[in-house]
Amino acid sequence: MQVWKFGGTSVGKPERMHSIRELLNSDPSRKIVVLSALSGSTNALIAIGEAAKAFDDAKAAALIEDLKTHYGLFIKELYATPAGRANGQTIVDNEFGFIKSLVGIKPFTIKQEKELVAEGEILSTKMFQAYLEEKGENSVLLPALDFMRIDADGEPELATIEEKLVTILNQYTDKQTIITQGFICRNPREEVDNLKRGGSDYTASLIGGAIRADEIQIWTDIDGMHNNDPRIVKRTFPIRELTFEEAAELAYFGAKILHPSTITPAKLRGVPVRLKNTMQPEAPGTLIANQTSDRDIKAIAAKDNITAIYIHSTRMLNAYGFLRRVFEIFEKYKTPVDMITTSEVSVSVTIDNSENLDKISAELREFADLEEHDRDQNIICIVGNFSADKEGIALKVLDAMKHIPIRMISYGASEHNLSLLIHSKYKAEALNVLNERLFYYEDAMKDIFTAP
Ligand SMILES: Nc1ncnc2c1ncn2[C@@H]1O[C@H](COP(=O)(O)OP(=O)(O)O)[C@@H](O)[C@H]1O
Ligand SMILES: N[C@@H](CC(=O)OP(=O)(O)O)C(=O)O
């Protein structure tokens, strides 16, 4: 069995949903199909929630009407028959009736907000299942809220997911296609919750891991993971193969095509992940698996909104226990640290969640001196096979960056990652100069020095 996930752009237009059906039928394997909300819907639902929170009923009602109109037009093109359209209209009327009732609850709490945001995936999957039914396909809609669980820390409970899903799937052995929602889940209080923005990729990987799928395919609007951010850099190309470790580093450090946690369940259960393009299905895409390929430097990614914290020990040389005390504070505030550099008396760290920064700083000041934090920083992450015997990689990176001020460097923690901290104003320049130096320079040199 395979798990195929289609993102917001892949379900965002009626004709795209038609293409998904064709894609599903062009491959004989049984599949669990994970769908995101129509592109733009999650943002629109969040905006409705913001208006409700602010007691701005008129604004909330207007935003709801706009979104409902969008869905009304969508279903007109999605279905071919009057019966199909009537079915689609019932789905839209029911879900928007529910959305209105949610927004009417005062005060509008986080519980209602999560139920509201979940409506994006509920609508897309119900509409798609009704479309497959109209076409007489052998499919069923399986609510993710029946099996997708997170714990009190927001972490998915893989064992529970596996147990519930396997039991449910046993009832549908005759179904060729099983549709479910990405992103949404239940928390330990049984409330509707979610896996955070972009979380449908994670759903697909959790399902793929839970059922030990043959393959997980993430279908999106680009022909695989590119060697650099195509929104910022012009000359990028798709990478054919990545190891789980390389893909995890890229996703964590900003390659938007994958949710940062996607790789973990797939890697745990050894399920390969393939990134494919809905608009160009014949393109090979990117295969993420255990194998390595020989190119040393694979790709570059950038993570935004980073804050750097510079901590100096007041006890000076040979103080032990200092790092433990520092990291206990970050642990206490559940704030992950991305980059770390140390000297004998100082440690610098970066974080991307600065929600508790004031409290963290106050506790650090009890035993350390802090410099002023550097906000609006960017981590540039170069990913590849950097095993200890490889020469010259850092030289190439630093050569490319010679005109850009570097605040921190992290190299050697993993064999797959070299990270640099720079101010975000240099991000586009850094991605572009690294792209030219790391991926095109040698070829350009060959052209210059090879006699025609
Ligand atoms: N290194 C990269 N390789 C490929 N795409 C990337 C990369 N970095 C950023 N992206 C962006 O990720 C987008 C796909 O992710 P996303 O919008 O979340 O898709 P979906 O809606 O299908 O989940 C691409 O359109 C591309 O602009
Ligand atoms: N709808 C969610 C989940 C998601 O993963 O979307 P996408 O597959 O379009 O990134 C979001 O917008 O965050």
The pLDDT tens digits for 99-148 are 999 999 989 999 999 999 999 999 999 999 999 999 999 999 999 999 99
**Residue of minimum CA distance from atom 8 in ligand 2:** 7
Ligand nearest to the CA of 144: 2
Residues near 401 by Cβ (< 8 Å), separated by ≥ 6? 420, 422, 430, 433, 434
Ligand in nearest proximity to the CA of 222: 1
| 388-397 pLDDT, tens digit each | 777 888 999 9
Among the bound ligands, the one closest to the CA of 195: 2
> Is residue 396 packed enough to be buried (19+ CB in 10 Å), middle (13-18) or exposed (0-12)?
middle
Q: What's the DSSP call for residue 252? A: H
Residue 393: its pLDDT value, please? 87
| Ligand 2 within 6 A of CB of 120 | yes
Confirm or deny that 125 is annotated as ligand binding: no
Quick one: CA dihedral 258, 259, 263, 269, positive or negative? negative
| Probe target for ligand 1 pocket from 257, 298, 434, with the most ligand atoms within 8 Å of CB | 257
d(CA 65, CA 76): 17
For residue 42 and ligand 2, the question of a CB distance below 6 A is answered with: yes
Other C-beta atoms lying within 10 Å of the C-beta of residue 206? 33
Q: Is the pLDDT of residue 413 over 90?
A: no
Cis peptide, bond prior to residue 272, ω within 30 of zero: no
Rounded distance from Cα 252 to ligand 2 centre (Å)? 16
Which residue from 220, 234, 246, 298 has its CB within 8 A of the most atoms of ligand 1, so it is best to mutate? 220
Q: From residue 342, give the alpha-carbon distance in Å to each of 23, 311, 315, 345, 361.
A: 51, 9, 15, 8, 18
Residue among 36, 192, 257 to mutate when testing ligand 2 (max atoms within 8 A of CB) = 36
Q: Which domains does the chain have, with CATH numbers?
A: 2-220 (3.40.1160.10), 299-449 (3.30.2130.10)
Span 301-326, pLDDT tens digits: 999 999 999 999 877 555 678 889 99
Token representation of residue 304: 């935004």
Instruction: Label residue 78 by pLDDT band (50, 70, 90).
Output: very high
pLDDT classification of 452: cutoffs 50, 70, 90 = very low
Q: Is the model's pLDDT at 165 over the cut of 60?
A: yes
Return the residue whose CA atom lies nearest to atom 14 of ligand 1: 257
Mean pLDDT of 225-246: 94
The ipTM is: 0.97
